[in-house]
Amino acid sequence: MLRKMVFTILVDVLLIPEGSVNVGVTHGLERIGLSDPIPEMKEITVKMAKNEYEPFQIVIRSETAVRCFLKEILPCPRSKASPGWYPDGLIPLPLKSFTAEKGENTIVWVDVYAPEDQESGMYSGVIRIEMGKVMEISLTVEVWNFTLPEKVSLKSGVEVMVYQIIEAHDLSWDPEELEPVLYNYYETLIEHRVMPWELYFAEPGVLRDGSIDMEDNHEHLKYFMNVLQVNTLAYPLYEDWPFKDPFGRDLEKTTRYVRELHEYYVENGWEDRFFFYIIDEPNSEREYDKVRDISRKLREIHPDIRFLVTEQMVPDDPPWGDLYGYVDIWCPLFPCVEDEKELIKERQALGEEVWAYTALTQGEQETPFWELDFPVLHYRVVPWMIWNSRISGLVYWTCNWWEDVSDPWEDPGTWTDNGEVYNGEGVLVYLGDDECLPSIRLKVLREGFEDYEYFVLLESLGKESVADKNVRKIVKSWYEWDKNPDKLLEVRRILGEEINNMMREGLEELPEGPQGEREEKEEIEYSAGKEGKDEFTEKGEDLSEPIEDMRSGMTAAAFLVGLVVVALFILIIRSKRKE
């Protein structure tokens, strides 16, 4: 049965004289620059599971200046790959409007979302763009008969630099001022299936003798662990906090602190999600000795505590010795995962975990580098590589490294080293007024995490070989992958239809996976209103009046689409030129 959408994007606030206006549509893995040709497609088909997002892009170009809502294109004049302009930062449609430059592309990023209780089936509709003349893009959405889990299967960790948020937003350390902004950063990552691995407001109070006090922090941590289902988190213990010398003269306090904290996690059922991450990238004999010393002391404090180290298994200098027996979670660079794959199997057989991380453009051969001026496919393909390698986690050092630039919207050169510029390094979100704004790269990374759920679901249905066979159509190794995004999207479609067909053949529900027990969120229900308006109901309250009529301009980022609830988060591009 084909359901019709009552779905119109009306941007009749754009008053454009009759003339040459061109519109096209494409998927979310194509990076459209300011002067790239308009995509020829005038229709888009989206296939998706329940509790999944699927993006696409609408590209508009006019011969005259246009009042519009846009997405950010960053200039990369110092790019090693290809100097030019790169779309990345995303501005929610209701927040910004401006004039699109004559003869340049305006790009609207659309996130379609199917809720968990969405009825499966086919839906069709039209996106109408009124700009002096009416242009239409046909949209078809197929909602498959399975649901992605709320709790994310792929483990990950990204640091949120709190002090940079305070400086960038001109905040103080006062919790009442900082909390809503910092929560927005954490929640934005989690909404994109990426985990912040440190939670500032969830750190325990610490007494002088090392005892903990969770009275002021328990509800914060409970919210992130039980409601948002954070799947990994680092213990709040560092080389100089909560004591000046935790593993030296303050070891007795550290022992009490760690044991009480671990007992608290056990009482709440969270102990398997925590690990210690104290030393980053040890790179000398002294630092290797420190890893061994801290690991030994932690095991004496409690044998069940896990220790993560961002390092490969083979030391750069053999005299340093190895770290075997001292590391529970290895986290090597992408190329080391490929180079040490046999060693990885050996350590995994002993019960140790292996994750992977990337930073800059390290390695003798190319892996999926994460700078702005590399294809966005690099973000999506990494979870495929993780599955293919049978490792279990992903680390990126931060999402908001703005310290070295005055404005990340204007200057993407966020990291420099020996004269080399790394555009967009350490940046997955951009600075908003009192919030963070996601990048295209974060959106595409979310898509890769969703793809990973397909592999896990197939494995749970006894079809692991189907997942493996299709993943290997895209990924051969960390050095070799198919660079054609259309090929990846086609393989994803095959996997989705395989799961959908199995569900349609009589399997009433998926085997129990990593869902976890989840406390209820506050839910917002959307229902179709009269005369083209949408009624947003939260706990029974009618909110339709404050929301502007959709016929007079786009003012909401999520709304009901006819007979199917499809939440749209529409974000746009604007371009800025450097003088």
Q: What are the tens digits of pLDDT across the range 306-348?
A: 999 999 999 999 999 999 999 999 999 999 999 999 999 999 9
Q: How many CB atoms lie within 10 A of CB 379?
A: 25
DSSP 201: G
> CA torsion angle for 519, 524, 527, 532 (degrees, to 10)?
-160
Rounded to 5 degrees, what are φ and ψ at 273? -100, -5
Q: Are residues 119 and 222 in the same domain?
A: no
The pLDDT value given to residue 71: 37
Q: Are residues 264 and 394 in the same domain?
A: yes
Q: Are residues 141 and 180 in the same domain?
A: no
For residue 104, tell me if it sits in a domain: yes
For residue 462, tell me if it sits in a domain: no
Task: List C-alpha distances in Å: 239 to 236, 277, 481.
Answer: 10, 10, 39
For residue 157, tell me if it sits in a domain: no
The pLDDT value given to residue 77: 53
The pLDDT value given to residue 504: 81
Q: What is the pTM of this model?
A: 0.85
Q: How far apart are CA 490 and CA 485, in angstroms?
A: 9
Q: Report the number of distinct structural domains present in the chain.
A: 2
Q: Are residues 141 and 177 in the same domain?
A: no
Query: Nearest to residue 226, comparing CAs of 520, 451, 427, 512?
Result: 520
Residue at a domain's end among 401, 416, 437: 437
For residue 90, tell me if it sits in a domain: yes
Tell me the H-state helices in 475-549: 485-504
Rounded to 5 degrees, what are φ and ψ at 460? -65, -25
Q: Are residues 423 and 301 in the same domain?
A: yes
The pLDDT value given to residue 99: 55
Using a 10 angstrom Cβ sphere, with 0-12 exposed, 13-18 middle and 19 or more buried, the burial of residue 238 is middle
Per-residue burial over 411-427, b = 16 or more CB atoms within 10 Å of its CB, e = otherwise: bbbbbeeeeebbbbbbb
Q: Are residues 200 and 98 in the same domain?
A: no
The pLDDT value given to residue 157: 97
The answer for 117, left when phi > 0, alpha when psi is -120 to 50, beta otherwise, is alpha
- Cβ atoms of 380 and 445 closer than 8 Å: yes
Cis check: omega of the bond before 242, within 30 degrees of 0: yes
The answer for 183, left when phi > 0, alpha when psi is -120 to 50, beta otherwise, is alpha
Query: Nearest to residue 386, comparing CAs of 452, 329, 303?
Result: 452
Q: How far apart are CA 45 and CA 142, in angstroms?
A: 8
Q: Which residue numbers in the chain have pLDDT < 50? A: 1-18, 68-76, 95-96, 98, 508, 513, 515-518, 520-579
The pLDDT value given to residue 268: 97
User: What is the span of the domain harbouring residue 258?
Assistant: 173-372+390-437
The pLDDT value given to residue 348: 98
Q: Are residues 217 and 325 in the same domain?
A: yes
Q: Are residues 292 and 413 in the same domain?
A: yes
The dihedral through the CA atoms of 295, 298, 304, 307 has a sign that is: negative
Q: Are residues 224 and 357 in the same domain?
A: yes
pLDDT tens across 442-490, in order? 999 999 999 999 999 999 999 999 999 999 999 999 999 999 999 999 9
